């Protein structure tokens, strides 16, 4: 886990994880490194975003890069519990379909 006010990642095992806190530019370097360290960068299958409090375009870009990275490794990452504000941002950038795969 990270310090208060930054993104947090909880590995639930079997390719499942939970992201919480803000998904913004400030926490992304830490989050990407944590995804690498835990192996979730390539092995994640399901990410619960229901505890994400806020997100910006950098956070959306991280999710898209993470999903693409999993696909390149032969996997498929599904996002669950995507907050409405994040879906709205994705809609503006044409990335909504990737986030709405599992709702």
Do 44 and 17 touch, CB atoms closer than 8 A? yes
**Partners of 47 in the β-ladder:** 17, 79
Do 46 and 77 touch, CB atoms closer than 8 A? yes
Per-residue pLDDT band for 100 (boundaries 50, 70, 90) equals: low
Residue spans of the domains in the chain: they are 8-99
CATH for 8-99 is 3.30.750.24
- pLDDT of residue 2 exceeding 80, the answer is no
Query: pLDDT tens-digit profile of 20-79?
Result: 999 999 999 999 999 999 999 999 999 999 999 999 999 999 999 999 999 999 999 999
Confidence (pLDDT) at 95: 85
What's the pTM value of the predicted model, to 2 decimals? Answer: 0.89
């Amino acid at each position: 886990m990270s310090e208060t006010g930054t993104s947090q990642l909880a590995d639930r095992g079997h390719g499942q994880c939970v992201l919480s806190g803000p998904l913004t530019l400030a926490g992304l370097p830490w989050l990407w490194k944590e995804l690498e360290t835990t192996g979730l960068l390539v092995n994640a299958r399901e990410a619960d975003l229901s505890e994400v409090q806020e997100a910006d375009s950098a956070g959306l870009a991280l999710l898209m890069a993470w999903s693409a990275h999993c696909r390149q490794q032969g996997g498929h990452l599904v996002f669950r519990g995507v907050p409405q504000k994040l879906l709205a941002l994705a809609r503006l950038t044409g990335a909504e379909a990737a986030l709405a795969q599992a709702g």
